[in-house]
């Protein structure tokens, strides 16, 4: 029997990248999956990909929603319960390094960017967790958060708001892991390094600049010792592992780093990201 048979998963940010890959793997492994994002076209691509892999429509719930809004969060929870009856796993994956429209970096980035960055990378996770908690108490379920190696301890002057949001997320993961284990709910997270997804596009980088960035990173061992940019499946497989109680039941409140060795060297800090991208 597939290992997630009879389990229902909500994966935020599954209209692209890591979330899309996790949705495909969960669905192929028997789960009922709620996929979601703001971009209806890209969400439809995820839906098609999953259906094309042989998964039945009855296992899929596709919801266009902004997860930073209360209405969007409520819709995700309600439509999942309406279609599948229960919620066993919440993957808080949606996230972004919100760009400053003026091109400002560092301390010059606006407070508006700060608020938007914290809203998607931290507040939405907190709100989704609160809303899904009663349903996970019923099923003794799992939460997997998607953090980032930018959480620290190294400084991130170019993306400081994004980095502090992820650092706060790591502390949230640890704290709720202890708060929720009393109800049988397990919480963990994964901290990816560089992964080739829509992430740089969402930062406003065109495809060509994004490709240059990934190529540069993969060509420099001080950036990625494994000399390869991660693929979405590299992270999605860890999400499934952390959501699989049979395999990871004794892991509580931890974050698994998957970064091709980047955090052991962190040499890329000396390079200028705009130069890497040819901008």
In the complex with ligand NDP, the residue whose CB is nearer, 31 or 125, is 125
**How far is Cα 37 from Cα 174, in angstroms, rounded to an integer?**
26
Question: Pick the catalytic residue: 114, 161, 162, 250?
Answer: 162
In the complex, what is the shortest distance from the CB of residue 35 to ligand NDP, in angstroms, rounded to a whole number? 9
Selected binder of ligand NDP within 9, 10, 11, 18 (CB under 6 A): 18
- Residue 250: exposure state from Cβ atoms within 10 A (0-12, 13-18, ≥19): exposed
Q: Does 195 bind ligand NDP (CB under 6 A)?
A: yes
Which string of x and - marks every residue 197-236 that binds ligand NDP (by CB under 6 A)?
Answer: xxx--x----------------------------------
Stretch that binds ligand NDP, among 2-10, 11-19, 245-253, 260-268 (CB under 6 A): 11-19
Q: What are phi and psi of 257, to 5 degrees?
A: -85, 130
- Sketch the per residue contact string, 98 through 137, with ligand NDP: x for CB under 6 A, - otherwise: ----------------------x-----------------
Q: CB count, 10 Å around CB of 203? A: 18
Please count the residues of this chain forming the interface with ligand NDP, following the rule CB under 6 A. 28
Structure tokens at 155: 């400084």
**Residue choice 24, 67, 257, 268 for contact with ligand NDP (CB under 6 A):** 67
CA distances (Å), 141 to each of 33, 132, 184, 187, 268, in order? 15, 10, 7, 9, 38
Q: Report the residue number, 61 or 197, with the smaller CB distance to ligand NDP.
A: 197
Residue 68, class by beta-carbon neighbours within 10 Å (0-12 exposed, 13-18 middle, 19+ buried)? Answer: middle
**What whole-number distance in Å separates Cα of residue 12 and Cα of residue 124?**
10
By beta-carbon proximity to ligand NDP, the closer residue of 15 and 32 is 15
The answer to whether the beta carbons of residues 10 and 80 sit under 8 Å apart is yes
Q: Is 93 in the site for ligand NDP (CB under 6 A)?
A: yes
Q: Is 162 marked active-site?
A: yes
Q: Select the residue interacting with ligand NDP from 28, 68, 105, 237 (CB under 6 A).
A: 68
Among residues 16, 61, 62, 210, the one that binds ligand NDP under rule CB under 6 A: 16
User: CA-CA distance, 10 to 264, in Å (whole number)?
Assistant: 33
Greatest CA span in the chain, whole angstroms?
Answer: 54
Measured distance CA(174)–CA(187) in Å, rounded: 8
* Shortest CB 119 distance to ligand NDP, Å: 8
Q: Which of 17, 99, 141, 260 binds ligand NDP (CB under 6 A)?
A: 17
Residue 24 within binding range of ligand NDP, rule CB under 6 A: no
Q: For residues 85 and 164, what is the distance between their CA atoms, to the nearest angstrom?
A: 36
Chosen residue from 24, 187, 194, 223 binding ligand NDP by CB under 6 A:
194
Taking CB under 6 A as the criterion, the residue among 24, 91, 94, 224 binding ligand NDP is 94
Dihedrals phi, psi of 34, to nearest 5 degrees: -95, 115
245's CB contacts (< 8 A; 6+ apart) are: 142, 186
Annotated catalytic sites, by residue?
A: 162
- Residues forming contacts to ligand NDP in the complex (CB under 6 A) are 13-19, 37-39, 42, 66-68, 93-96, 120, 146, 148, 192, 194-195, 197-199, 202
């Amino acid at each position: 029997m597939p290992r997630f048979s009879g389990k229902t998963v909500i994966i935020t940010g599954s209209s692209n990248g890591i979330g899309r890959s996790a949705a495909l793997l969960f669905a192929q492994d028997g789960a009922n999956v709620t996929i979601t994002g703001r971009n209806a076209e890209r969400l439809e691509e995820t839906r098609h990909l999953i259906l094309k892999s042989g998964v039945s429509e009855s296992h899929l719930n596709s919801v266009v929603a902004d997860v930073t809004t209360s209405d969007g969060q409520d819709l995700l929870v309600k439509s999942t319960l309406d279609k599948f009856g229960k919620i066993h796993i919440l993957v808080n994956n949606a996230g972004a390094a919100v760009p400053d429209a003026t091109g400002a970096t560092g301390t010059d980035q606006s407070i508006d960017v700060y608020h938007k960055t914290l809203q998607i990378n931290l507040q939405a996770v907190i709100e989704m967790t609160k809303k899904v908690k009663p349903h996970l108490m019923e099923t003794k379920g799992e939460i997997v958060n998607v953090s980032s190696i930018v959480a620290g301890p190294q400084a991130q002057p170019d993306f400081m708001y994004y980095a502090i949001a992820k650092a706060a997320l790591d502390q949230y993961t640890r704290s709720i892991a202890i708060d929720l284990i009393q109800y049988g709910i397990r919480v963990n997270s994964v901290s990816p390094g560089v992964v080739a997804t829509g992430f740089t596009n969402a930062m406003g980088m065109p495809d060509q600049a994004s490709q240059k960035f990934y190529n540069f990173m993969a060509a420099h061992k001080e950036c990625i010792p494994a000399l390869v940019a991660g693929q979405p499946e590299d992270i999605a497989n860890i999400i499934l592992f952390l959501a699989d109680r049979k395999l990871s039941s004794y892991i509580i409140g931890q974050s698994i780093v998957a970064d091709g060795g980047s955090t052991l060297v962190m040499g890329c800090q000396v390079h200028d990201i705009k130069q890497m991208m040819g901008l």
